[in-house]
Structure 1
Amino acid sequence: MPEPRTFRDEPVSFVRRSGRMSDAQERAFQKLAGRYLLDVPRDVAWTSVHPDARLDPASEYGRTAPLIVEIGSGQGHAIVAAASSRPQDDFLAVEVFRAGLARTMLDADSAGARNLRLVEANAPEVLSSYLPEGAASEVWIFFPDPWHKKRHTKRRLVRGGFGHVAARALADGGLLRLATDWEDYALQMREVLDAEPLFERAFDGDWADRFDGRVMTAFERKGLGKGRDIRDLVYRRVPRS
């Protein structure tokens, strides 16, 4: 008798909030999803990715170019700005909230960004299987949910084991860029990644300089407005043996 399938064997780093989309956002899905949103085969949940599914970047983008992946792209402000200003690179936004995906597609279309794709999926599954090994030149994680209550910290994206998952998706020498306005999460990120032998620090001192390729978003303004320091980290994927 086959083993019963489990829904997920780890807590996800998000709570799925459907939320009512505006009329403009609904129209964006109808009009723009075919251009921007990847059709991903699902597994046990709507935001899951079937373990046999693989992205073919050259086929999807119609060329071979550096691929930058943003985990938790939110409203898409950072990745749309980057995609529209760096047409020589390709970009993939990973997000689970449909309103954010709709806003990203609207802004990308207005900016004429054709080098951007979106995937509605759980980030670790994108990194661990959907992306071909070594496909990404950079992975960005900017202001992930801090899950600041002690009983919820196990839901944090960057926790024990995450470094290995991220390293799989990155090319040799590729960069993992992170930013948060929660000090204890920044310390956890640094501890997790310092302990991961597949990464090495790409900064001096306690924290990295602010990444000048990251536009100021509402999350960053909110953190600054509350008097919290923004802490950046950047790690380099060590060469595969």
Structure 2
Amino acid sequence: MTDQPAAPEHRRSIRSFVMRAGRMTEGQQKGMDQGWPRFGLSLKDGQLDLDSVFGRQAPCNLEIGFGMGNSLLEMAQTAPEQDFIGIEVHRPGVGALLNNVLKAGITNLRVYDCDAIEVLDKAIPDASLDRLMLFFPDPWHKKKHHKRRIVQPDFVQKVRQKLKPGGIFHMATDWQHYAEYMLEIMQAAPGYRNLAEDNTYVPRPEERPITKFEKRGERLGHGVWDLKFERVG
């Protein structure tokens, strides 16, 4: 999950998250201790050379706010011919994912544990990503909190800058009002094409794993809305 708090009046930037404390389990700490040296990325590394990071040329996918990392791990396992980068500030989630990466023995996944906006600004080269994924970000459902949502006109243009021409910005939410808000923002954003046949939402793509959270929501009758927009031009 990705949160975006309002910036204080004296600050211009809006961070993409709210820092959340959490106690690390033994497995999560193992992931940090053993997995981070192999799969962790730092802003200190500067702008990435993706071919060098992964040791090959391959399609690159980036997920903002991967939570505990189960979906990202499944995508990386299912598509070993592709590379994946995840961003998450919740350290127990980062540790959990890294621990599972070690168990799975995969090598096509890397992780940041810092602000997604900073990663996009400082580390991701322009026109380098084949897909950027934003699944179930915090909807900030109260109207007075809408400015905290990560999906804003400036953000979607930042995403477009990092996507290759033809690259995909894939969003998903289980809040209908946020889905409608996302659609409104994206329809007004220059340089994008909606991939939905009816110009609204796409059917759930097979490549997006169904989470336990989503399955529970389906049992309770909650909907999920997927949006896919392609960078054009």
TM-score where L is the length of structure 1: 0.87
Write the deviation string for residues 65-105 of structure 1: whole angstroms up to 9, x where unpaired: 11000111111111111111211110000111101111111
1:151 deviates by 2.5
| Candidates 23, 27, 33, aligned match of 2:26 | 23
RMSD over aligned CA atoms reads 1.7
| 1:60 corresponding residue in structure 2 | 53
| Candidates 193, 203, 219, aligned match of 1:209 | 203
| 1:125 corresponding residue in structure 2 | 118
1:200 equivalent to 2:203? Answer no
Which amino acid counterpart does residue 32 of structure 1 have in structure 2?
A: G
1:53 deviates by 2.3
CA contact (8 A) 1:14 1:145 kept: no
TM-score where L is the length of structure 2: 0.90
Write the deviation string for residues 112-137 of structure 1: whole angstroms up to 9, x where unpaired: 21000001121122223320001100
Q: Taking every aligned residue pair, what percent have the same amino acid on both sides?
A: 36
1:11 equivalent to 2:14? Answer yes
1:44-193 alignment runs, 5 A limit: 53-193=46-186
| 2:223 corresponding residue in structure 1 | 229
Write the deviation string for residues 28-74 of structure 1: whole angstroms up to 9, x where unpaired: 21111111111222xxxxxxxxxx92111111111111100011111
Q: Secondary structure at the match of 2:106?
A: coil
Count of residue pairs brought into register by the alignment:
224
1:207 deviates by 1.3
Q: Secondary structure at the match of 1:161?
A: helix
Write the deviation string for residues 150-200 of structure 1: whole angstroms up to 9, x where unpaired: 222211111222210110110000011111000111011111111111111
CA distance in 2, matches of 1:39, 1:232: 30
CA distance in 1, matches of 2:221, 2:17: 25
Q: Secondary structure at the match of 2:202?
A: coil
CA contact (8 A) 1:14 1:155 kept: no
- Structure 2: unaligned runs, 5 residues or longer: 1-8
Provide runs of 4+ in structure 1 moved above 4 Å: none
1:7 deviates by 8.3
CA contact (8 A) 2:153 2:189 kept: no
Write the deviation string for residues 205-230 of structure 1: whole angstroms up to 9, x where unpaired: 23111011111113323432442210
1:40 equivalent to 2:40? Answer no
CA contact (8 A) 1:163 1:198 kept: no
| 2:4 corresponding residue in structure 1 | none
